[in-house]
């Protein structure tokens, strides 16, 4: 069911600083910042040959990244995103297997303009998992 890794997400307290580090120090290609108010984040993507790294910064008072950064003020790995061919079929199969889908269970449009869902980290060995339809 799972396809390739689409991206690994890192929560950061300062998106501009993190972007500069990846671009200027590490020499990576970095996208322009993108605000995603429906997800409560601002993001950039570090574009690598084999995958992407998503840098996330809180956007708004209710951002889930804000609470993450309260626990880890310097930032850290937030989630991993896997590609799936059919997000609704994947959701139904995962739920039937006992995994919990976060939110209302309906896909939202993610940063790539494609449907995404998040799975509860307690069901996946402490790792927040995002699935994205390709």
Q: Name the active-site residue from 54, 130, 132, 133.
A: 130
- Identify whether the C-beta of residue 44 lies closer than 8 Å to the C-beta of residue 33: yes
Written as six digits, the tokens of 1 are 């069911």
Closest CA to 93 of 131, 121, 39, 127: 131
Our answer to whether residue 133 is catalytic in this structure is no
- Identify whether the C-beta of residue 91 lies closer than 8 Å to the C-beta of residue 114: no
Kindly list the catalytic residues. 130
């Amino acid at each position: 069911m799972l396809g390739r890794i689409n991206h690994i997400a890192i929560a950061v307290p300062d998106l501009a600083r993190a972007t500069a580090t990846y671009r200027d120090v590490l020499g990576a290609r970095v996208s322009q910042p993108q605000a995603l108010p429906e997800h409560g984040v601002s993001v950039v993507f570090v574009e690598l040959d084999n995958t992407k790294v998503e840098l996330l910064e809180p956007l708004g008072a209710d951002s889930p990244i804000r609470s993450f950064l309260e626990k880890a003020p310097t930032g850290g790995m937030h989630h991993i995103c896997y590609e799936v061919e059919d997000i609704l079929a994947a959701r139904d199969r995962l739920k039937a297997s006992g995994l919990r889908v976060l939110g209302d269970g309906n896909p939202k449009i993610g940063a790539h303009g494609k449907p995404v869902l998040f799975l509860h980290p307690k069901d996946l060995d402490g790792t927040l998992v995002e699935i994205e339809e390709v």
